[in-house]
Amino acid sequence: MRLVFFIVAAGMFAVTNLLPSAFASETPAVGASAPDFTLPSQDGTVSLKDYRGKWVVVYFYPRDQTQGCTIEAHNFQRDQPQYGQRSAVVLGVSVDTVDSHKAFCAKEGLNFKLLADTEHKVVKEYGSTMEYKGVEIAARNTFIVDPQGKIVRVYTNVDPNKHSAEVLAALDDLQKGTATK
C-alpha cells in the first residue's frame, strides 16, 4: 500500500511540476521595459505610453468593492497629493468591468484611474494572476515604472493597509537616486 501511494504521489508531483499552469507567468524583472498596455478606465482609455516622462505606479488588485481592495484604494486616494508632488501617477488594474469601476469610484470617492482588464491580458503580461474559488483574478502586485518606461520596483502579495506609504517611500528613494546620477 505504501509503495502504491509513493508511486501515485511521485507521479502527481512530476505532472504538476512539468505542466505549465495557466496562472503561472513571471512578473517582469526590475530593469525590464514595462509591458505597454491600453485599457479602458472609468472615464476613458488609458495607455501606459501616455505617461512617459512621469513615474507610474501600476497596482493590480483582485476585486472592486471588497474589503482589502477598498482599503488599498482609499490609501492611494488619500495620498494622491503626495503622488502629484513626486510627479507620479497611480493606475489600478483589475479584471472587473468599466461599469464596476465606475460604481466603485462613485461609492468610494476615487478619482484616480482604475483600468478594466476584462480579457486578462495585462494581468498575465505582468505575472499578476491568481485563482480564487475557480475564477481568475488579479493578484495584489505593484510595479513602479520610471519616467523612461523601465520597471524599477516590484511588489508581490502586498499588504493593502500600508502599501501606499511603502510606495511613496520607494519613490522618494528612487528619485533621490535619480537626482544624484
Half-sphere exposure at residue 147, Cβ-oriented, CA atoms within 13 angstroms: 10
Could you tell me which of 16, 32, 12 has the C-alpha nearest to residue 24?
Answer: 16
**Active-site residue among 48, 57, 69, 73?**
69
Q: Which amino acid is at 82?
A: Q
Residue that has been written with the C-alpha cell 474559488 in this structure: 133
Handedness of CA 41, 43, 47, 51 (dihedral sign): negative
Q: Would you call 69 a catalytic residue per the annotation? A: yes
Catalytically active residues, by annotation? 69
